A and B are shown apart, each in its own frame.
Chain A
Amino acid sequence: MRYLVAFGRFWWNFIVGDDWTLALGVVVAVAVTAVAAHHGWGAAWFILPAAVLVLLTWSISRVRPPGPG
């Protein structure tokens, strides 16, 4: 059991890393892209790159520089 937990933790740290909200945001953006593409929306290709840039900017901006104290 201990090894299974360690194995799961390795893959979680390897793929998801420090900010799980990035992972969740990507999964949601891919799902929205799939729905838009299957409804024949021609500009569906734009959704994922836009989501990626917004998610990355948001994730970086939440890390605060060291403050006083």
Chain B
Amino acid sequence: MSNLLLFLAAFGASAVEMVEALTIVLAVAVTRGWRSAGWGVAAALTSLTVIVVVFGPALTRLPIDALRVVVGTVLLIFGLQWLRKAILRAGGLKALHDEEAIYQAEVADLQAASGDLSGTSGHDWYGFTVAFKGVFLEGLEVAFLVVTFGSTQHNVGLAALGAAAALVVVVAVGAVVHAPLSRVPENTLKFGVGVMLTTFGTFWSAEGAGVHWPGSEGAILGLLVAVAAAAFALVAATRRRVGAAGRGLALG
């Protein structure tokens, strides 16, 4: 059960980050050319591979309790942040993430950037840098999640498999539609992943701190249900608040 959740959490979190990276790469490719975008992606993936190979194994050598309390706490803070944002968006207190609008803004920026920065080498360094930065930063987030998630559960392979599956799906869909993936229900994905990260973060950090969970790993399921129920209740309460404020504005 926890393995399935681990896979789903790694898949969902990676898919969200990859959709964001794909939006940037597509904008670069369409406005500055596929060649510079392709080199930027290749350079970013190479850098990420080096970082994961160098730092990944070091994490797994730490004592498991210390690892769980530190990584669990970081994941819990990170998961709560995602969940908070997703609740605010679902409740109407924050604008939904719009990949189409982000894509259009990125394209406008790229077109406005001083026309040809290729210099004498014939290489478009501007397009390369934007694609590199987009893939590297989003990829760093994926790498962080895979390594931390996998190492605390002693299954980096499964977390990496979840991320790889997300990569295949996002790239395949991107290749077919050749446009930003604006129809991906990003907030729903972020909501689900936020619930899972908060659940795992709570379980691991408490276990690392010396807690014995009732039902051992079965407690993960109980936590998942409690966090999801609280998140849905908060969305409903937020919608009521936004509705009441709207009615107040209309009357005033």
Contact = CB atoms under 8 A, between A and B. Distances in A.
Contacts of B241: 65
Interface residues of A, number: 33
A33 B91 CA distance: 31
B32 interface: no
A53 B205 contact: no
B141 interface: yes
Contact of A67 (B137, B205, B219, B245): B245
Interface string A54-67: 01110110010111
Interface string B208-225: 011111100001000100
Contacts, number: 114
Contacts of B72: 30
Contacts of B248: 68
Contacts of B210: 33-34, 37-38, 44
Given A14-B141, A15-B74, A49-B226, A30 B209 contact: yes
Given A14-B78, A52-B227, A33 B209 contact: yes
B73 A60 contact: no
Nearest to B83: A56
Mostly, the A contact residues are: helix
B238 A45 contact: no
A44 B81 contact: no
Interface string A29-40: 010011001100
Nearest to B238: A60
Nearest to A67: B245
A15 B226 contact: no
Given A48-B202, A52-B198, A22 B211 contact: no
Interface string A11-33: 00011111100110011001001
Contacts of B230: 53, 56-57
Interface string B188-209: 0000000000100010011001
B176 interface: no
Interface residues of B, number: 47
Contacts of B245: 65-67
A18 B38 CA distance: 33
A37 B211 contact: yes
B249 interface: yes
Nearest to A19: B84
A56 B81 contact: no
Given A45-B212, A60-B87, A60-B88, A30 B80 contact: no
A23 B83 CA distance: 13
Contacts of B144: 14
Interface of A: 10, 14-19, 22-23, 26-27, 30, 33-34, 37-38, 44-45, 47-49, 52-53, 55-57, 59-60, 63, 65-68
Given A30-B73, A44-B210, A57-B234, 16 more contacts: A16-B81, A22-B80, A22-B81, A26-B76, A27-B77, A33-B210, A34-B69, A34-B209, A37-B210, A45-B214, A55-B80, A56-B87, A59-B80, A63-B93, A65-B246, A68-B252
